[in-house]
């Protein structure tokens, strides 16, 4: 039995009269990758912001491992195990890969290091940083200045920085954006590996990748969920095909 880690129940977010997210419910289980797809402006990033705590909800409830976290702000949610990556780059480009991971780990354990000690002495965050960069496949480039990494490696670093906070749930906003075929394969392998001990929500536009890696797919249109099911059922879903997939994902094919 997979464990329910994060649950959003009928969450909504309105910007004035705009219903960016309306009455959306999603469950994230450990050992499961739950993809959220939808056209531009469907509300996917807003949903991630509601789950991560960056935006307050207009309505609804969010719980993490059974605990109501609806009114928790982002840092508290992060410390409780909610990690997220961003569409925008959050890397400190003049710093090395290892330093970037350490900074993220230190943000997770603010009391674990003393201001009068060099941050590098902090064993807890150093260990977490080291594990994270190894896990994300960046062990060989740990001393490289982050700004010199390839686009794909930078996205891996974003994941590593997220992992450095020791999350139990990963909210990933378009980690495959702008990647070439080889980089995509590497990232998909990483996601497949990470889902074994994390619950993952993936927002992604690359449909081939989504259908390969997702265990469940939720489809949003204009802020609302029109379908949430296993990939094969989504592929066949008439409303989804009409509203979103069109001919891009033919029944029974990957395209």
Ligand X SMILES: Nc1ncnc2c1ncn2[C@@H]1O[C@H](COP(=O)(O)OP(=O)(O)OP(=O)(O)O)[C@@H](O)[C@H]1O
Single out the residue of 26, 27, 33, 45 in contact with ligand X (rule: CB under 6 A): 45
What distance in Å separates the CA atoms of residue 77 and residue 125, rounded to the nearest whole number?
Answer: 18
Site stretch for ligand X (CB under 6 A), options 43-51, 62-70, 75-83, 158-166: 43-51
40 lies in the binding site for ligand X (CB under 6 A): yes
Instruction: Say how many residues touch ligand X, by CB under 6 A.
Output: 11
What distance in Å separates the CA atoms of residue 248 and residue 134, rounded to the nearest whole number?
Answer: 36
Describe the strand order of the beta sheet including 82-84 as a list of residue ranges.
Answer: 82-84, 169-173, 199-203, 32-38, 216-221, 224-229
What distance in Å separates the CA atoms of residue 43 and residue 22, rounded to the nearest whole number?
Answer: 9
Query: Cβ of residue 111: shortest distance to ligand X, in angstroms?
Result: 32
42 lies in the binding site for ligand X (CB under 6 A): yes
Comparison of 45 and 156: residue with beta carbon closer to ligand X: 45
Residue 210, both tokens = 């989504």
Single out the residue of 7, 11, 33, 38 in contact with ligand X (rule: CB under 6 A): 38
- Other C-beta atoms closer than 10 Å to the C-beta of 186 total 18
Comparison of 20 and 162: residue with beta carbon closer to ligand X: 20
177 lies in the binding site for ligand X (CB under 6 A): no
Question: CB-based contacts of 247: which residues, under 8 Å, 6+ apart?
Answer: none
251 burial via Cβ count (<10 Å: 0-12, 13-18, 19+): exposed
Site stretch for ligand X (CB under 6 A), options 41-49, 72-80, 126-134, 182-190: 41-49
84 lies in the binding site for ligand X (CB under 6 A): no
Single out the residue of 41, 54, 63, 74 in contact with ligand X (rule: CB under 6 A): 41
What distance in Å separates the CA atoms of residue 91 and residue 81, rounded to the nearest whole number?
Answer: 20
53 lies in the binding site for ligand X (CB under 6 A): no
| Backbone φ, ψ for residue 192 (5° rounding) | -60, -35
44 lies in the binding site for ligand X (CB under 6 A): yes
43 lies in the binding site for ligand X (CB under 6 A): yes
8 lies in the binding site for ligand X (CB under 6 A): no
Comparison of 20 and 207: residue with beta carbon closer to ligand X: 20
Residues that bind ligand X (CB under 6 A): 15, 18, 20, 38, 40-46
């Amino acid at each position: 039995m997979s464990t329910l880690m994060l649950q959003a129940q009928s969450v909504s977010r309105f910007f004035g009269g705009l219903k960016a997210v309306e009455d959306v419910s999603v469950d994230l289980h450990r050992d499961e990758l739950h993809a959220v797809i939808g056209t531009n402006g469907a509300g996917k990033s807003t949903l991630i912001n509601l789950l991560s705590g960056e935006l307050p909800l207009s309505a609804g409830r969010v719980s993490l491992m059974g605990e109501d976290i609806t009114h928790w702000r982002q840092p508290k949610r992060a410390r409780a195990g909610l990690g997220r990556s961003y569409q925008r780059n959050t890397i400190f480009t003049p710093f090395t890969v290892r330093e970037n991971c350490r900074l993220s780990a230190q943000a997770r354990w603010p009391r674990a290091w003393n201001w009068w000690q060099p941050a590098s002495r902090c064993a807890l965050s150093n260990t977490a940083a080291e594990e994270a960069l190894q896990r994300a496949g960046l062990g060989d480039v740990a001393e490289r200045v982050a700004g010199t990494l390839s686009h794909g490696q930078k996205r891996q670093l974003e994941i590593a920085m997220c992992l450095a906070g020791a999350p139990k749930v990963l909210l990933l906003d378009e980690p495959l954006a702008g990647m070439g075929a080889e980089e995509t394969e590497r990232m998909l392998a990483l996601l497949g590996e990470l889902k074994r001990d994390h619950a993952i929500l993936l927002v992604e536009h690359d449909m081939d990748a989504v259908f390969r890696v997702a265990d469940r797919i939720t489809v949003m249109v204009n802020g609302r969920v029109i379908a949430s099911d296993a990939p094969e059922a989504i592929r066949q879903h008439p409303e989804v095909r009409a509203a979103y997939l069109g001919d891009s994902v033919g029944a029974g094919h990957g395209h």
